[in-house]
């Protein structure tokens, strides 16, 4: 498309749409503006069989850079970026989930392994083993002494444990 002086005269489209060098939304809005301008030029050629005049270019640019159109271009750019970001996240979602669950499972397995190792180390410790054995033996002895004392007390009170329990008949049933 041949460029005329009117067409190449500078307009403020970039400055209007892009607020700073790192304004990604603004840069995408500018790309949408340029795409719209390209489509407009192609339609103009098809409709009128000629290039747009300088005045027609200025009218197009003015319409595209009015506050409502700038807002629409930036909103469209934002929407495109969100859609792109969403599609990227969706494409990585299974991988992210797998890595997160995998790391969690590994962490749990490592915690369980450490706990089991500590328990085995405690059980294997000679001091702890013999101490636990002595405590268990003492507990069994004290239980036996308590049962014997209860039987002696019941005997002096006049209660016979043998009379309390019914005899078992052959075949396993009580009389």
- In this predicted model, what pLDDT tens digit does every residue of 154-168 receive, in sequence order? 888 887 777 777 777
Answer yes or no: is pLDDT of 171 > 90: no
Domain ranges in the chain are: 5-94, 127-175
For the segment 77-82, the average pLDDT, to the nearest whole number, is 89
pTM listed for this prediction: 0.51
Q: How far apart are CA 16 and CA 30, in angstroms?
A: 9
- In this predicted model, what pLDDT tens digit does every residue of 9-22 receive, in sequence order? 567 899 999 988 88
Pick the residue with more confidence: 128 or 91? 91
Answer yes or no: is pLDDT of 79 > 60: yes
Q: How far apart are CA 13 and CA 113, in angstroms?
A: 64
Answer yes or no: is pLDDT of 6 > 50: no
Pick the residue with more confidence: 157 or 122? 157
């Amino acid at each position: 498309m041949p460029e005329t002086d009117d067409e190449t005269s500078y307009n403020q489209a970039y400055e209007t749409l892009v607020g700073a060098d790192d304004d990604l939304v603004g840069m995408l809005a500018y790309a949408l503006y340029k795409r719209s301008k390209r489509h407009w030029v192609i339609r103009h050629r098809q409709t009128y069989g000629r290039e747009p005049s300088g005045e027609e270019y200025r009218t197009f640019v003015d319409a595209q850079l009015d506050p409502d159109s700038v807002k629409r271009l930036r909103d469209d750019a934002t929407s495109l970026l969100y859609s792109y970001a969403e599609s990227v996240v969706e494409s990585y979602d299974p991988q992210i989930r797998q890595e997160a669950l995998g790391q969690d499972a590994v962490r749990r397995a490592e915690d369980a392994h450490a706990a089991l190792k500590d328990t085995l180390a405690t059980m294997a410790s000679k001091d702890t083993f013999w101490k636990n054995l002595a405590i268990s033996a003492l507990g069994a002895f004290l239980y036996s002494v308590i049962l014997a004392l209860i039987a002696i007390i019941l005997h002096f009170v006049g209660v016979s444990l043998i009379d309390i329990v019914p005899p078992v008949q052959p075949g396993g049933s009580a009389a």
